Amino acid sequence: MSVIEGKRIAIIGGGPGGLTLARLLHLQGADVHVYERDQNRDARVQGSALDLHEHSGLAALKAAGLLEQFWSNYRPDLNLLRLADPQGNILHEHPRATSGEHQRPEIERGPLRDLLLDSLPPDTVQWDQKLDSAQFSGAQVALQFAGGERVLADLAIGADGANSRLRALVTPICPQYVGVSLVEGIVPDAKETVPALWSLLKGSALIALGSGRTLGMGTKPDGSILFYAGLKSSDAEGRRSLDQAASPEQRIAWFRTNFPGWSALWEPLFSTAASLVWRPLLVCPANQQWEAKPNVTLLGDAAHVMPPYAGEGVNMAMLDALVLAQLLAAESNLAQAIAAYQEEMLARMRQMTEDTMMNTEMFYAHNAADQVVSLFRSFANTASGEDTSRPAAQL
């Protein structure tokens, strides 16, 4: 008999990690529900496209029986990453591998969420359920939602992202601010609004680097450009200065102050963006450890958030889901399955987090452009010519 048979399973968070786990457990016949704070499935899922990797994100989708749906929805046009200096001079063009073991096909977050949702029975996801707090209640976990509902679960999994509410039940260790924040903006109808930048992207993606700052951008299927301006800053002061930049002129002034010496080429991004959102980057300690609890655990960003400079966050979230589902199917005891999952996950994330933090240092070094271009050239010089490493997320 499976350890999850007859158990009521609650997954908090319907992101890629939580929904992948829900699908894999559904295939095992589990009684599983996902509690998601978004109001409904039509809530717009925003953010950069995600590149899935053969041995993690794609492996999880394969186990979920959803590879065909993935290939019907991926973005073959996001196959080129251009690296530029702060003046907009192209330093290197990196073609993405689109087949073979080291492929990194890109998919938008919305279609990824949709294909996972479509694979689940309709009532699996409980929308508009924001977890407020959780506590142990006998052999169960009591989940208190912001709208007033209280749910008792035999097994609770926190897949609720970087600011997880379930995490406190598992460990007192909190994610820390890494000292770098991103300013996110989206420019609608970019071909018309920012034609010079639209041409520079060649329909794909670009990262400009220099003087301890980054500016990453990518095209979206609706013709917009999503961009992330990254800088080292105090969280509170940076947020305040951005909030004060309301008009297009003030936003340009903000850019000039915070990106000194950068070309005016980039300014229209800031003046025409629909909004500018401050996003502080967090990281969990690489060597974090905690005692496994018998009926609650974490996965994805809730367990091990890190900056996006290795392009591994979603891949690790989906691999966590795969490993956990496999152990729940294989082990004869629920507590043992959770302990074995956590041991594998925490050990895997130790190296991944260290590598990611080294990449983050590199991207914000004074000579970042030289370092990152050399890194990307080294991929091109491998015998196979394939991208065999963990380069930055394609923003």
Ligand X SMILES: Cc1cc2nc3c(=O)[nH]c(=O)nc-3n(C[C@H](O)[C@H](O)[C@H](O)COP(=O)(O)OP(=O)(O)OC[C@H]3O[C@@H](n4cnc5c(N)ncnc54)[C@H](O)[C@@H]3O)c2cc1C
Contacts to ligand X by CB under 6 A: 12-18, 35-38, 48, 50-51, 130-131, 159-161, 165, 182, 228, 300-302, 308, 311-315, 317, 393-395
Nearer to ligand X, 3 or 32 (CB): 32
d(CA 306, CA 367): 23
d(CA 305, CA 314): 10
Nearer to ligand X, 85 or 301 (CB): 301
> In the complex, what is the shortest distance from the CB of residue 365 to ligand X, in angstroms, rounded to a whole number?
19
d(CA 204, CA 217): 9
Q: With the CA atoms of 255, 259, 260 and 262 taken in that order, what torsion angle do they form, in degrees rounded to the nearest 10?
A: -90
Q: Of 42, 22, 44, 40, whose CA–CA distance to 31 is shortest?
A: 22
Nearer to ligand X, 89 or 351 (CB): 351
> In the complex, what is the shortest distance from the CB of residue 292 to ligand X, in angstroms, rounded to a whole number?
19
> In the complex, what is the shortest distance from the CB of residue 43 to ligand X, in angstroms, rounded to a whole number?
8
**Cβ within 8 Å of residue 195, ≥6 positions away:** none
d(CA 29, CA 25): 7
Nearer to ligand X, 162 or 197 (CB): 162
Most distant CA pair in the chain, distance: 66
Q: Which residues of 66-75 are buried (b: 16+ CB within 10 A; e: fewer)?
A: beebbeebbb
Inter-residue contact 377 to 367 (CB < 8 Å): no
> In the complex, what is the shortest distance from the CB of residue 34 to ligand X, in angstroms, rounded to a whole number?
9
Nearer to ligand X, 23 or 37 (CB): 37
> In the complex, what is the shortest distance from the CB of residue 357 to ligand X, in angstroms, rounded to a whole number?
15
Nearer to ligand X, 3 or 309 (CB): 309
Nearer to ligand X, 3 or 214 (CB): 214
Nearer to ligand X, 215 or 314 (CB): 314
Structure-token match 């699908």, residue found: 23
> In the complex, what is the shortest distance from the CB of residue 222 to ligand X, in angstroms, rounded to a whole number?
18
Backbone φ, ψ for residue 168 (5° rounding) = -60, -25
> In the complex, what is the shortest distance from the CB of residue 251 to ligand X, in angstroms, rounded to a whole number?
19
> In the complex, what is the shortest distance from the CB of residue 383 to ligand X, in angstroms, rounded to a whole number?
26
